[in-house]
Structure 1
Amino acid sequence: MVFNKITEAIRNRFKSQEDLDLTGGPVGKNLFYLSLPVIVINLLQTMYNLADTFWLGQYSNNALEAVTFAFPVVFFLISLGMGLAVAGSVLVAQNEGKGNSKRRDYAASQTVMFSALASVAIGGLGFFLISDFVPLLGASGTVAASASSYLEVMSVGLFSLFGFLVFQSLMRGYGDTVTPMILMLATVILNIIIDPMFIFGFWIIPEMGVTGAAIATILARTLSLIVGIAILFKGTHGIQISLAQMKPNFKFFKKMIAIGVPASGEQTGRSLSVNALVAVVGTLFAGTVVSGYGIAVRIFSMVFLPAAAVGRGVESMTGQNIGAENYDRAEETARFGAKWTFIILTGLGVLTFIFAYPISNIFTKDPEIAAVSAEFLRYVSFSFGFIGVLRSYNGSFRGAGKTLTAAAISIATLGLIRLPIAYFGAINIGTKGLWIAFFISNVAGAAIAYLWYQKGTWRGKSQEKDRQKGEVAEEAEGFSETITGIAEKTLKILPFR
């Protein structure tokens, strides 16, 4: 009863899918109400990581160092199958835009089935390879053992971690970001409560340290997955999946793969870059720098949540508008998202620069670790706005089904720009080389995404030709009106009228 009242109160503060028309009405208003719950979801997701970081920071510096090595590996495992969730979101959005609810529900059912199979396979593979992979990142001794234990638990529970992300993606493609937000809120509250119990021990629960943090996260995520799947089967929030529609359709799977593999490539490339950077930090620097870097990355990920959320909002709006063949509105959505995330994140960057040390100091009792984290944040803070530009245009590419383009931009930004600069910078000028690499890559990525978008290839060849024909027609019409106007004025002043 209390939960229902809280849920109703939250829904009254946000716009539901029924209140939004993603293919009509003001672009800014619809994008805002679609993205706002995603911002909250991403914030809550980050609170998962921050809760682990906070409690493990109180537990020991070795525990904090262990999860610094572990978090990127979890991201990598999820990234391997994340393309299926993106493909499901795009296909749901485009069929929703077309008004084809049967194809929408079928796409959702197939996505759930293939994603479940992928998560089990990836989780099993990860479980057996973790112990060999962690030392490659630079971890050793008790830190490597703790990181491996954490990752083994997360690999076993990958089905739950990935399952809820699929639920979010499908609901977002439909245009409902409020329901996943409410479910995420309840799950995070549960995780925050039980996290210290499993880390430090409580009553019949033994002290488990780093492993306990992983167990708490998996338990909370399993609950969220159960509720999310129940919502999809009941169909009370738009999308309705069914067992009958989950019979493997490999022709449909091929279509998902065409969209999903590049999207997985984008996420995997991003995670490989993160892992490679952790390896650079872990190999070239001491534990203090590793821990400080880990804290800074958590804070860094929380600061640009608006960019990630708007990018997902742009993705859904682009998908639905392309399904409805509203190409100009899709383009307007991307421009609006890029402009306002740049402004908002630049403001957040200024605040981060000013309060970098006090924010970092919250997550550790060691002033040296806090100082490393603060230095990182100050170097990258004024590039935050460019992350918004990159995420908005990449979101539009994904919504249009051009996931290969989005992947190419992300991999170029992180793998070809950030990583080499970070490595050679770290060797030559120390930690400052790492921080400078983040700044340069953020600016360069935004520039690449913007210039690529201006080519209009996201529309597809036929739509781009139609757009160019339309522009020529508009110019010809304007020229004709100008000539007619001149002629009329000339006739008025001629003596032989």
Structure 2
Amino acid sequence: MSLTKQDRKITLFALTWPIFIEVMLHMLMGNADTLMLSQYSDDSVAAVGVSNQILFLLIVMFGFIATGTTILVAQYLGANNYKDAKEISSVSLSANLLFSLIISVVIVLTSEDILLLMNIPQELLPEATFYLQVVGGFSFIQALIMTAGAILKSYGYTKDTMYLTIGMNLLNIIGNYFFIFGPFGIPVLGVQGVAISTVTSRIVGLIVILVILKRRVHFTLSLKKIFALPGHHLKNLLRIGVPTAGEQFSYNTSQMMITVFITMLGTHALTTKIYTQNLMMLILLFSLAVSQGTQILIGYLIGAKEYDAAYKRCLSSLYAGVIISTVMAIIFTLFSKQLLGIFTTDERILETGAILILFTIILEPGRAFNMIIISSLRAAGDIKFPTYMGILSMWGISVPIAYVLGIHFELGLVGIWVAFIADEWFRGIIMLARWKSRIWERKQFATSKPLPAS
């Protein structure tokens, strides 16, 4: 199935394969940091891992506007309403700039306090604080990159964001190499060097993506728009973004709570969790890419009021996501010790990590249900239900079970992974029932009348 907008043919595959590579490279950037730091110090890996838990939460907070942008731009383009598509893009960039600048300042001022609240081991605190202050202080740059990328993807320019990510990855890896291994007499800075490298690559990435945006969509970021935001566009952005941010905020804070449980098990358990989740992120790549591509296509279809096509598109994407995620989980299980061996030679980490990766055969298909169907529901305008069910499941199932099995019954990381499985499958089954009920057909946005196709 394909759509033609602005004389461009857009298919799920055409949207998804660049997103797949882009997301893979984003994850590999994180893995590159971990892999290269693991040659420097396991404690440094743990310090950056804990800081990244907080930084992921920031990305979620910035992402609520980017998510709304993706959906609304796709719906307007589906309705041939190019004027409002451009306006909502301008509004989203301006709003996220203002919001992210405020958050960045707060992070710089409160980094150490936040880390102490997470019960971080004392020996990790100095490095974790520096990393969080530097990367978090410049997190407004990542917010703008995310928003600009969402606009380009909605217009179908997924290759542009893919090439940008390739360039940012290369810069980051080169910077890591210089600061961790110290060639040519360059000082070895460890965590500090990784933070500097990360920020530098993002600054370059922001400059490039704004240039691309100007060329592709023919508008630029204007500070004046911060003080003159069209009310109806901002209202629609918040209508999508706030509940979406609520769900993602709930997920990340629940993960932070579970990380606190893991810190009770010691630095060894925390390092095992970080290495294992780095590999697990590679397993869910396909589902994540398909969910993003499906969200854009369903946004087009909803804008064009082609509800039957939207219904079938979600289910087709779901079947593909579940099958591929299961196959990838099996492959990773077969080679789990070799893959973990890339990061460490510690036998305890290898043995525990191999068990956790085995559990992904059950975990990842459930995660695919959530990623693909929830993205589809949002694109169709059904925003609040996934949020309410997500909060209920994360805090009513995942966190309590993680504590009871992992800490109380002393099953450690194995018990915590069982909690993850219960949470994903409970939500996944509920979301599938919601999609099949087709209630989302009655939850459309009040958007402007479409302009004639040009």
TM normalised by structure 2 equals 0.92
Task: Work out which of the residue numbers 42, 46, 62 in structure 2 matches 1:65.
Answer: 46
Mapped to 1, the partners of 2:123 and 2:443 lie a distance apart of 56
Mapped to 2, the partners of 1:183 and 1:17 lie a distance apart of 23
Structure 1 residues 462 and 385: CA distance shift in structure 2, 3 A: closer
Render the CA deviation track for 1:403-446: whole Å, top value 9, x for unaligned: 32332343334332221111111121422211211222222221
Task: Work out which of the residue numbers 301, 305, 310 in structure 2 matches 1:330.
Answer: 310
Q: Which runs of 5+ in 2 are unaligned?
A: 446-454
Mapped to 1, the partners of 2:40 and 2:134 lie a distance apart of 19
Quote the residue 1:487 is aligned against.
Answer: none
**3-state SS of 1:59 partner:** coil
Quote the residue 2:439 is aligned against.
Answer: 457
Task: Work out which of the residue numbers 347, 367, 371 in structure 2 matches 1:367.
Answer: 347
**3-state SS of 2:343 partner:** coil
2:381, 2:443 within 8 Å by CA — same for their partners in 1? no
Structure 1 residues 248 and 105: CA distance shift in structure 2, 3 A: same
Quote the residue 2:416 is aligned against.
Answer: 434
Mapped to 2, the partners of 1:462 and 1:131 lie a distance apart of 44
Kindly state the Cα deviation for residue 164 of structure 1 after the two structures are TM-superposed. 1.3
Render the CA deviation track for 1:86-123: whole Å, top value 9, x for unaligned: 11111111111111211111111111110111111111
- 2:155 aligned with 1:174: yes
Quote the residue 2:449 is aligned against.
Answer: none
1:47-126 counterparts in 2 under 5 A?
A: 47-126=28-107
Task: Work out which of the residue numbers 382, 385, 389 in structure 2 matches 1:405.
Answer: 385
Residue-pair matches, total: 439
**3-state SS of 2:39 partner:** helix
**3-state SS of 2:120 partner:** coil
Render the CA deviation track for 1:316-347: whole Å, top value 9, x for unaligned: 11111111111111111111111110111111
Structure 1 residues 101 and 239: CA distance shift in structure 2, 3 A: farther
1:147-296 counterparts in 2 under 5 A?
A: 147-203=128-184, 205-234=186-215, 237-238=216-217, 240-241=219-220, 243=222, 247-283=228-264, 285-296=265-276
Mapped to 1, the partners of 2:290 and 2:388 lie a distance apart of 20
**3-state SS of 2:150 partner:** helix
1:82, 1:267 within 8 Å by CA — same for their partners in 2? no
Task: Work out which of the residue numbers 278, 283, 287 in structure 2 matches 1:303.
Answer: 283
Structure 1 residues 430 and 242: CA distance shift in structure 2, 3 A: closer
Kindly state the Cα deviation for residue 241 of structure 1 after the two structures are TM-superposed. 4.0
Task: Work out which of the residue numbers 277, 300, 313 in structure 2 matches 1:320.
Answer: 300
Mapped to 2, the partners of 1:167 and 1:144 lie a distance apart of 34
Render the CA deviation track for 1:13-45: whole Å, top value 9, x for unaligned: xx99878545xxxxxxx2222111111111000
Task: Work out which of the residue numbers 345, 366, 377 in structure 2 matches 1:386.
Answer: 366
**3-state SS of 2:329 partner:** helix
Mapped to 2, the partners of 1:369 and 1:327 lie a distance apart of 49
Kindly state the Cα deviation for residue 198 of structure 1 after the two structures are TM-superposed. 2.2
Letter in 2 for 1:195: N
1:353-364 counterparts in 2 under 5 A?
A: 353-364=333-344
Kindly state the Cα deviation for residue 458 of structure 1 after the two structures are TM-superposed. 1.6
1:56, 1:63 within 8 Å by CA — same for their partners in 2? yes
Structure 1 residues 462 and 441: CA distance shift in structure 2, 3 A: closer
Structure 1 residues 266 and 19: CA distance shift in structure 2, 3 A: farther
Structure 1 residues 356 and 399: CA distance shift in structure 2, 3 A: same
Structure 1 residues 348 and 18: CA distance shift in structure 2, 3 A: farther
Letter in 1 for 2:352: V
Structure 1 residues 176 and 166: CA distance shift in structure 2, 3 A: same
Letter in 2 for 1:276: M
1:386, 1:443 within 8 Å by CA — same for their partners in 2? yes
Render the CA deviation track for 1:329-379: whole Å, top value 9, x for unaligned: 111111111111011111111112211111111112323223222221112
Letter in 2 for 1:291: T
Mapped to 2, the partners of 1:64 and 1:220 lie a distance apart of 20
2:405, 2:415 within 8 Å by CA — same for their partners in 1? yes
- 2:399 aligned with 1:419: yes
Kindly state the Cα deviation for residue 145 of structure 1 after the two structures are TM-superposed. 1.6
Mapped to 2, the partners of 1:164 and 1:98 lie a distance apart of 26
Letter in 2 for 1:33: A
Structure 1 residues 231 and 436: CA distance shift in structure 2, 3 A: same
Letter in 2 for 1:83: F
1:338, 1:390 within 8 Å by CA — same for their partners in 2? no
CA RMSD of aligned residues (A): 2.1
Kindly state the Cα deviation for residue 147 of structure 1 after the two structures are TM-superposed. 0.9
1:80, 1:122 within 8 Å by CA — same for their partners in 2? no
Mapped to 2, the partners of 1:114 and 1:241 lie a distance apart of 14
2:96, 2:147 within 8 Å by CA — same for their partners in 1? yes
Quote the residue 1:495 is aligned against.
Answer: none
Task: Work out which of the residue numbers 24, 31, 43 in structure 2 matches 1:43.
Answer: 24
Structure 1 residues 179 and 269: CA distance shift in structure 2, 3 A: same
Bigger CA drift: 87-96 or 428-437?
Answer: 428-437
1:48, 1:217 within 8 Å by CA — same for their partners in 2? no
Letter in 1 for 2:148: F
1:122-141 counterparts in 2 under 5 A?
A: 122-141=103-122
Letter in 1 for 2:153: R
Structure 1 residues 239 and 170: CA distance shift in structure 2, 3 A: farther
Structure 1 residues 59 and 16: CA distance shift in structure 2, 3 A: farther
